[in-house]
Amino acid sequence: MNKYTIFQKILLYLSIAVFLTFILLPFVEMFYASLRPLKHLFRSPYQFYSNDLSFWAYSEMWNTVPRLGRYIFNSFFLASCVAILTLLFVIPAAYSFARFNFPFKNGTLYLLLAVNMFSGPVLIIPLYKMLRALSLLNTYYAMIVPGVAFLIPTSIWLLKSYFQKIPIELEEAAFVDGASRLQILRHIIAPLSTPGLAVVGIYAFIGAYAQQFLYAISFNQKKEFMPLPAGLYEFIGYQTVKWNEMMAASLVGIAPVLLVFIFLQKYIVEGLTVGAVKN
């Protein structure tokens, strides 16, 4: 190993350390803010560590916002529904783009990509009018339907690329044995695409979690359907903001996303790196 290679590795590890510090430091500060008493959060000069740290906010937040448990459940439920529905729509669509030739195929793919360039706020008013016409306002559907619609285009692109890497000879052999197209998709393509499906599912789950705030405050006014990002506003009072309890609730609220990532990280890595090594 020459000096140039050692220098490259040191530079690589330093870059990774800087990147992780930039990404994780806000979460570290959130955790310390949740441990401090409210009156000590704005001490001057700033103290990163003090002797008055406690987990008091993690127990008090349930009393401050009695519906907090429902808000956390709503966030997880909405994200799960969006991820499942996105997969149900995307699997046959991505398979069609990967295996069939039809008019305007490439144009449709690029149109999907162009649609994905529009952000949620741009289409809030048309979405509101459509959901109102369908009597879906103030329901779970008001947050599920837009979430699925905005996640489908990118999900099709991701899964289509994965389906194209599966040898078509496997399907031809199944056709010879009398299998139908649906049976092939269900019993051959889907099991072989588990890493790709995991990547798309996690992408849809996290994307749905991130979109909840906008859709909740735009299409829902009932607290029983409110997700956590919108429910955090209840920590804001007329004269003060309970920052420590809000930070504690935020950390508890993102726990489902972290758990999903931890349990499925093997499939995520496999799905993202498939095709990176040429056989």
Give residue 2's pLDDT band: very low, low, confident or very high (50, 70, 90). Answer: low
pLDDT at 32 over 90: no
For residue 74, the model assigns a pLDDT of 93
- DSSP class of 39: G
pLDDT digits (tens, 9 = 90+) for 161-216: 888 888 888 888 888 888 888 888 888 888 888 888 888 888 888 888 888 888 88
Average pLDDT in the 88-100 region? 89
Residue scoring higher pLDDT (247 or 44): 247
Going by C-alpha positions, the residue among 217, 239, 238 that lies closest to residue 226 is 217
| Residues in a beta bridge with 241 | 236
Which pLDDT band, with edges at 50, 70 and 90, does 87 fall under?
very high
CB-based contacts of 84: which residues, under 8 Å, 6+ apart?
Answer: none
Q: Average of pLDDT values for 1-18? A: 81
For residue 41, is pLDDT > 60?
Answer: yes
Axis-axis angle for helices 68-99, 105-115 (nearest 10): 160
Q: What pLDDT does 77 receive?
A: 93
Task: Report pLDDT for 62.
Answer: 92
**Residue 236, strand partner residues:** 241
Mean pLDDT, the chain, whole residue set:
84
What kind and span of H or E run contains 90?
Answer: helix 68-99
Does position 266 have pLDDT exceeding 60, yes or no?
A: yes
Architecture of domain 65-273: Orthogonal Bundle (1.10)
Least confident range from 102-116, 205-219, 241-255: namely: 102-116
pLDDT of 226: 92
Backbone angles phi, psi at 128, to 5 degrees: -60, -45
More confident residue, 129 or 268: 129
* 260 vs 232 pLDDT, higher one: 232
Helix or strand (DSSP H, E) at 216: helix 194-219
pLDDT for 23: 87
**pLDDT for the residue numbered 279:** 45
Give the per-residue pLDDT at 98: 86
pLDDT digits (tens, 9 = 90+) for 122-166: 888 888 999 999 999 999 999 999 889 888 888 888 888 888 888
Q: What does the pLDDT look like over 55-86, one tens digit per residue?
A: 888 999 999 889 999 999 999 999 999 999 99
Short-list 263, 259, 244, 260, CA closest to 34: 244
